[in-house]
Every structure is written in structure tokens, then in C-alpha cells.
Structure 1
Amino acid sequence: MQPKYVPINSQENPRFSGIKTFMRLPHVKTEENIDFAIVGVPFDTAGSFAIGTRFAPESIRSISSLLRPYNPGQNIDIFQYCSGVDYGDIAINPGYIEDSYQMIQEQLQPLIKNRVVPVLIGGDHSISLPNLRAMAQEYGPVSLVHFDSHSDTWDSYFGRKYNHGTMFRRAVEEQIVDASKSIQIGMRGSLYGPEDIQEAKELGYEVVTTEELKDMSLSEIRHKIQEQVGTQKVYVSFDVDFLDPVYAPATGTPEIGGFTTFEAQQFVRQLNELDVVGFDCVEVIPDRDPSKVTSLAAANMCYEFISLVANQKRNQEK
């Protein structure tokens, strides 16, 4: 029988001991016999305001030692169905966006080719673009389910096309995302003008603002997402500024009037019937948050997603 990769038993080794990997998973750089891989992407050169997300993978891994294998909210023991590793960090070139995009895409490709679900810990939000490129290389254009307070579909910043606020426009232009089968959820905050939201819709995205989302039940949200995405391969992107700054203060472009961590958990759990092939959690700046509450929120969003991967495996066994 092939080995199964599971976390260290915290009843035998205390949570405060050992090298800090995500959820105390083994650090093994393999694409074999695993269902998911935690991948750090310590890149923040594409940030437009505050930077420091390059330190997020380390911080999120450290706080994730509190996580346990059984998820009561999704009623699943993750490692009864899954094998997973902490793959370590992607090598990037600080200060050089396009070089780093190429490096990220190339290093993710072996995982995706072997049908391993990459769970990316950013890093700024621009890291979604090279991951989507790698996804499309294997699967063709994918659907995007995007939790954020910003649509990230601006055309450029300071005349440059690559930035953490432009990647989901580039993804449509490059035909790596099928916008007609994608949805952006949670848009709010001040804008340069009404065209900021309208342009996302004109690209083909279904856009649900925070005001609209607050008026919807969980069943309505679930139905809307499923109706939009259908049976396509899905990439899920979670920007921590989807959360209200009370729950995620350590991020570069916070917007008030957001969601609680409980609400975010509930939204992610509505994705359990989708064919999800990749995930990222981005925009944590640990230096702004000595208490690590934002890193804790991000670690738990990754945990909820890993639970979705386990749920997919369980459904396949039925």
C-alpha cells in the first residue's frame, strides 16, 4: 500500500513543537499519492499600496498548527479521504512580476498535471494569474468563484498591465477563465466610478455586491453559484479583504462593511458540489497584525477548502 500523508498526531507531539508546516503536514515535495498540496507563494511585488504579503505563508503556516483533522461544520474527517502535503514555497524573483509569473506557472504545472489540487497561500492577489494559466494549460478555460471586496478587473495601474488589481481582466483576455461561467462575490467600498463594477460585468462576470449578498439566504447563494458555474472545473480565489477589517485587519486594501469569519465559512461550504481544481487565499500582511487574527482567518479558509477536497473524494467513493 502506498503511504498516505497526514498531519503529525498532536496527542503525541505538542502543537507548539516541530517545524511549522501547514496543519503540521509533512513537508514533502511530491506529486505522487496526494490529493492536495499546500503551496506558499511569497510574492508581493504586484501590490499597489501596502506590501508585506511575502511573509504571509510563514505566518499562516505557524497559526495553522491549531487546526484538527475533523471538520464538524462539513461533517468530515479530512484525512479519512485525503492525502496531502505541505509542498513548501514557490521560488520567485522579487521585484520582477512577469519573471515570477513564469516561475510560478512552471512550478505548479507538475501538481496540476497529476490532478493534485494546489492550495496556494499568497502573497498578493496577482498570484492567481499564473496559477490560472497553469490550470488552463491542463484543463482549458476554468470557471472562477471569487470572494473579494474588489473585482480586480481594472485595465492597468500606472500604465502597467500586471498588478494585484488587474489579473481577472487579464485572465479573460488570455481566455484562461470563462467569465460567462464565473462569479465575483462581495464587491464593496469606494470606487473611481460606477464603471469599475460595470466593466467586470461587461467582461462577462456575474457580480454580487456585498449589499446584494447580505440580502440573500445561504440556499439562494448556493443556487446562484451553482447555476452560474454549472459542471465546469472551478478555481476559487479568496481575498481576506472579503472579511470586515475587524476580522482581517492585516491586509493592504481593507474595506469596512464586510463579512464575519463565520459568514465566510458558510459561503465556502456552499461550494461542496462544485468540481473545484484549485484555490488561493491571499493578501495577508502579518506585520500589520501582531495578534495573527488575520492569519488565523486565512488558515481556516484554507482548512475549509481542504475539507471540500475531502468531500469531493467522499462523494466519488459513494
Structure 2
Amino acid sequence: MKTTNEMIKDKDLWAGLNNPDLAMEDADIVVFGQAFDGATSVRKGAADGPRSIREYSYSITPTTEDFELMDSLKIKDLGDFQEENQEVLFDKVQKQVEEIVKAKKFFTMIGGDHSVTIPVHRALNKVLDDQFGIIHIDAHFDLCDTLSGSPLSHGCPARRATELDKVNGSDGVYFVGIRSIELDELEFKNNNPVHVINARRFQTIGIEESVKEVVDYMSQYKHVYVTIDIDCLDPGFAGGTGTPQFGGLTPRELLEFLRGIFCLPIIGFDVVEVAPSLDSSLTSTFAARKVITECWGHYWRKNQK
């Protein structure tokens, strides 16, 4: 079995699309991971997510599910950030994302628990000239001010985002797939505008209407970031995650929703909370792999026109 460092240098990584010798300015997409799960409140395991997803990226072809060949896509995988100290990790990641955004590169971040989205939001806030929107696809709001005593918990990234200068408070975030709420989140929701299509309403109004609602609202932004917690899926489809919640989205709903929102000016996306050790069948790993490659396909298709 290859080590993570060996994988990063391997041109067969990511269906053969990885080019370890490529300069960042020549890449179409920049990828990096954060192998960190020190901010979880329940079960650990998400630190192994980036390694697991990469490990199974060798066995696929560079095609979309519509059988389009995207072998012209140039991927540069920067590897994983690994630090035990959360603030040290976040500082390094923020600096890296700032560099990526300044280079005007589309990027993908692989977590890690959901706290690792915080430095990405911070970087976008620092580098972008305009306000940006966030689409938060998750079973949970992640609007806690603190969780388990920490303001940097995996239950806090959306709350920290609402405090950023370039995010228009809670008006700047659209939540999709939610089906759980903490008491302080409920208080926040009752006192602030919170835009949400919870899992039940998503199923009721359908994919097309859900896409339309989010796209119509997010079209006001020049840049949109998408953060995808794998637990947005029902645990029957993605059991390897720290805090699964029954009654989630189906794989088809998630894939079609992502396809629909890629008409927006999406600057990058992440997939977090994949914990392979919590599910021997690796359903979450394979789900994340599919989400990543299909989103790359949407980006590739959009830029062929």
C-alpha cells in the first residue's frame, strides 16, 4: 500500500489526472487535504478521510457519469496538512488557500472534521474583493458559538463564517439537507435570518425546485464556496462519518443538486467528515470520491464552452 506522500507524487492518482510536477499556475484544479479530527464532539476517524479517498482514486477512469472524457483536466495535489495544534494548522492552511485564490485557481479541500473549513473561509475573506456566498450542505447547521467548550469545533464553521467581513452575516449562507439542531443554534435561528432547505423540505419540493431556490438567491454573489459534509447523505448511503443523522439526502439527490448549482460562480468546494474506520464497507469514502470527481466534471464541462 502506498503512503500518502507516495500517492501525491503518483501520476496515477485521481484517475491519472494528477501531475505532481505541474506548477500551480498551470493547473486547472488544486487539491489539498487536512488530516485533522481534533475538533470532533462525538466519534473520531475523519483524519483518515483524505488518505482513504485518494487511495481509491486509482481505480477509476477520468470520465463523468455522462461518459464524458475529461483527461485534459490538469490536477495538482498539494498533499495533506497535518498538525496537532489546530491554530497552527489553520494558519498554514489559510496561507495556502490565500495563495491558491490569488492565483485564481479552482480548488478542492478534503477533510478532516468540519472545523477545517474555517481557515478556508478566513482565506476567502482576506483575499476576495467582494462579498462571497456559502452553500453549506450538511445534516447539521454548524452554527454553534461553541461546542464542547471550543469556538473552533466541527459544530462551529458556519457560525464563524457569519462573523467574517465578506460574508453578509447569516444572510450569506444557504443551508441544505439539515435535519438536526443544537439549542444555541435554535436560538440563533430564531433571532437571525437563516436560509435553509432542510432534508424533509428538499424531499417534498424536489431537486429542481431546491436548485432553483438556492441558485436564485446565490446569484447575487460573484464568488460562491460550497462545503459538503458527507453526513448530508442518509447514513444508509454513507455510514462512515462521526455524527450520522437518519433521514438524509439520497446519493442521486446530492449529485443532481450539485450539478444544478454549478451554474453559479463556484470558486471551490470541500468534502469533509469522511471517517473510513467507522464503516468497513467504506461507503463514505466512495461517496466522497464520486462527489469530488463529478464536481470536477461540472467545472471541466463549464470551461469547455
TM above 0.5, yes or no, is yes
Q: Does residue 21 of structure 1 match 2:10?
A: no
Which stretches in structure 2 are left out of the alignment for 5+ residues?
Answer: 1-9
Between the aligned partners of 1:201 and 1:28, the Cα distance in structure 2 is 51
- TM-superposition CA deviations, 1:150-201 (whole Å, max 9, x none): 0000111233211110111111112343342431001114x444x6346247
> For the Cα contact (< 8 Å) 1:23–1:61, is it kept in 2?
no
Q: Is residue 103 from structure 1 mapped to residue 92 from structure 2 by the alignment?
A: yes
Distance (whole Å) between structure 1 residues aligned to residue 268 and residue 177 of structure 2: 20
C-alpha spacing 1:97/1:43, structure 2 compared with 1 (3 Å) = same
TM-score, length basis structure 2:
0.89
The answer to whether structure 1 residue 236 and structure 2 residue 226 are counterparts is: yes
Contact residue 234 and residue 275 of structure 1 kept, 8 A:
yes
Identify the match of residue 77 of structure 2 among 75, 80, 86.
86
Structure 1 residues 121-130 or 24-33, which shifts more?
24-33
1:1-318 aligned at under 5 Å gives the runs 21-24=13-16, 25-28=18-21, 30-73=23-66, 76-80=68-72, 82-90=73-81, 92-94=82-84, 96-139=85-128, 140-178=130-168, 179-189=170-180, 191-193=181-183, 196-197=185-186, 199-200=188-189, 202-232=191-221, 233-315=223-305
Aligned 8 A contact 2:139 2:178 in 1: yes
Q: What is the SS of the residue equivalent to 1:70? A: coil
1:59 deviation in Å? Answer: 0.4
Q: Which stretches of structure 1, 4 residues or more, deviate above 6 A after TM superposition?
A: none
Residue 284 to residue 238, structure 1, CA distance change in 2 (3 Å): same
Question: Are the equivalent residues in 2 in contact too, given 1:108–1:131 (CA < 8 A)?
Answer: yes
Q: If the length of structure 1 is used for normalisation, what is the TM-score? A: 0.85
> How far does the alpha carbon of each residue in 1:42-91 deviate from its partner, in whole angstroms, 9 at most, with x for none?
11111111112111111001112233222144x743344x322222122x
Change in 2 beyond 3 A, CA 1:201/1:100: farther
Residues 22 and 62 in structure 1, CA contact (< 8 A), matched pair in contact too: no
Change (3 A) 1:114 1:214: same
The letter for the 2-side match of 1:240 is I
Change (3 A) 1:201 1:308: farther
Q: 1:102 to 1:79 in 2, by over 3 A?
A: same
CA apart distance, 1:26: 2.6
In structure 2, distance between residues paired with 1:44 and 1:125? 8
Q: Which residue is 1:5 aligned to?
A: none
Distance 1:36 1:19, change over 3 A: closer
CA contact (8 A) 2:19 2:74 kept: no
Please state how far the C-alpha of 1:29 moved relative to its aligned partner. Answer: 6.6
Q: Distance in 2 between matches of 1:78 and 1:181?
A: 33
Are the structure 2 counterparts of residues 285 and 242 from structure 1 closer, same or farther at C-alpha, using a change threshold of 3 Å?
same
CA 1:19 to 1:289, structure 2 compared with 1: closer, same or farther past 3 Å? farther
Partner letter of residue 211 of structure 2? R
Q: CA–CA distance in 1 between the matches of 2:266 and 2:182?
A: 33
Unaligned runs of 5+ in 1: 1-17
Q: How many residue pairs are counted as aligned between the two chains?
A: 292
Q: Answer whether contact 2:43 2:243 (CA < 8 A) is retained.
A: yes
Q: Which amino acid aligns with 1:224?
A: E
**Counterpart residue identity of residue 211, structure 1:** R
What amino acid is aligned across from residue 60 of structure 1 in structure 2? I
Shift of 1:224: 0.4
Percent identity over paired residues: 27
Please name the residue that 1:3 is paired with.
none
Q: Secondary structure at the match of 2:32?
A: strand
Quote the RMSD (CA, aligned, Å).
2.0
1:282 Cα offset (Å): 0.3
Flag the 1:294–1:200 CA change in 2: closer, same or farther, 3 A. Answer: same
Shift of the alpha carbon at 1:272? 2.2
The 1:110/1:184 distance shift into structure 2, 3 A limit, reads same
Hey, what's the Cα distance between the residues in 2 that align with 1:19 and 1:239?
Answer: 28
